[in-house]
Each structure stands twice: as C-alpha cells, then as structure tokens.
Chains A and B, each alone.
Chain A
Amino acid sequence: MKVKTLVEELGMTLITGDGEKEITGIYACDLLSWVISHAKTGDLWVTVMNNVNIVAVASLAEVACIVLAEGVTVDEQVVNKASENGVTLLGSSMPTAEIIVKTSKLI
C-alpha cells in the first residue's frame, strides 16, 4: 500500500515526502540501534523518538516512512534533513499500538 493511501485512511499528516513509497511491513521501536538492525526495507516505522538521528536511521534501514505517534512533533531541522534525504515523515495523534493494529488491517 502506498504511504498516501494510509495517510488518507487513518487521517495522518504527511510532513515530508510525496506519499508514493510502498509500505510492505510494520516495525515499532524507539531504540535506534535496534531499529537499524531489525527494521526491514519497506517497513512503516512507528516511534515517539523525534531527534534528528531518526532520519539517518530511516534512510539506512530503508523504511518506507517514519510515523511519529502520540502527536509527537519534530522541529524544522528534522523536517529539512528528512526532505534532503528523501525520508518520508508522517504524524499521527494515535498511540503506537493503535497505529500498528489499524495499519495491519490495511496493508
């Protein structure tokens, strides 16, 4: 499923990216070393971690997108770095578990 379809279905906010990337799985964790070694290419990654390092991790792990759960916001620096590196950032007010359950029914 394309990122933009998920954004529409679950009322998320598309912060960066064109929404064209394909989501093929789900991964959730806030420990970055854990994410980089366990997330799979094409995963939707749910986290509440919002520092700039999430961009490099998402890029190297090749996730389809980062979803910032629980209404967590990111500063301009993160947005700019994500745009520069072609990383798709989404925002959602839902908690992590709800995002996972609802996404799993759609992909």
Chain B
Amino acid sequence: MGLSGQKVTLRYTIAAEDFISAGEASSHVKKTLNKLGISHELVKRFTIAMYEAEINTVIHANGGEAYVEITPEKLMVRISDNGPGISDIEKAMMEGWSTAPEHISEMGFGAGMGLPNMKRYADELAVESEVGVGTVVTITVYLS
C-alpha cells in the first residue's frame, strides 16, 4: 500500500456522548496512514489534532461526521456537527477556556486544550461555526 498519486478518502460517523468508542476514527486514520508509509511525525501531529476535534464533537456537539482526504500533498480532515455552535471562537481558542460540564472534567477532559492543541499540531486550522447550526473544523497537515 502506498500513495502513488491517488487520493484516499475515509468517512466516519462520530456518536454523541459515546466515550467508549471516542477516538476510534482517529485511531483508524492513524493505522491507515502508517500503512501508507507516511512520515511518523506527521501522522502523530495529524491524528492528535483529529482526536481533539473528534472528542469535542462527542462532548459538545451531539456527535457528527469526519471526512478524511489523503493526497500526496496533504492530510486533511473535516469534522462537522449539528451541535450548538461556538459563540466566541476567539475565546474558545484560548488555552484553559472550557465549557465542558463537570462529568466531562471528571473523565480528564475539559482542560480547555482542544482547539489550542489542534492549532498547535495542524499546519492549518479552520473553524467555522454558527450558533444553533453547528461547527465545521478543518485540519490540514502538509506532507511536503
């Protein structure tokens, strides 16, 4: 298996409040990228950023969908949800700012690191959100 000019796409459904299978999409993407022989460091960065987006969808947004596109140039994942939306994206990008409820914090989440971690590990991060409509997060890591 290898990337010889073609495009690989993957799609996942992320279930709401399902902390048992949370992270399975990211883990599957990681296995796929490793099989494709993509640089270990880039795979780690991409899948950590994707995991944060996946967990956010589980915690805040009643679940959603992930669409992954792998090309010889880049790794891209778009995670979309029909959740409550983010009213203040600038605030949400600040480390330590969280709206996670207490039962989520007790599981070790809700540190206010989700979006900051995505930004840290992605080459490009786009967050589009509308209150009452949902959020679309696009994470890109370039391969060259």
Which of A's residues lie within 8 Å of B, judged by CB? 30-34, 36-37, 41, 49, 51-57, 59-62, 77, 85
Contacts and interface: CB of A to CB of B under 8 A. Distances in A.
B113 interface: yes
A60 B44 contact: yes
Contacts, number: 68
The secondary structure that dominates the A interface is helix
Given A36-B48, A36-B117, A56 B111 contact: no
Nearest to B19: A53
Interface in B9-48: 19-20, 22-24, 26-27, 30, 44, 47-48
A53 B22 contact: yes
The secondary structure that dominates the B interface is helix
B48 A60 contact: yes
Contacts of B30: 59-60
A33 B114 contact: yes
A48 B140 CA distance: 33
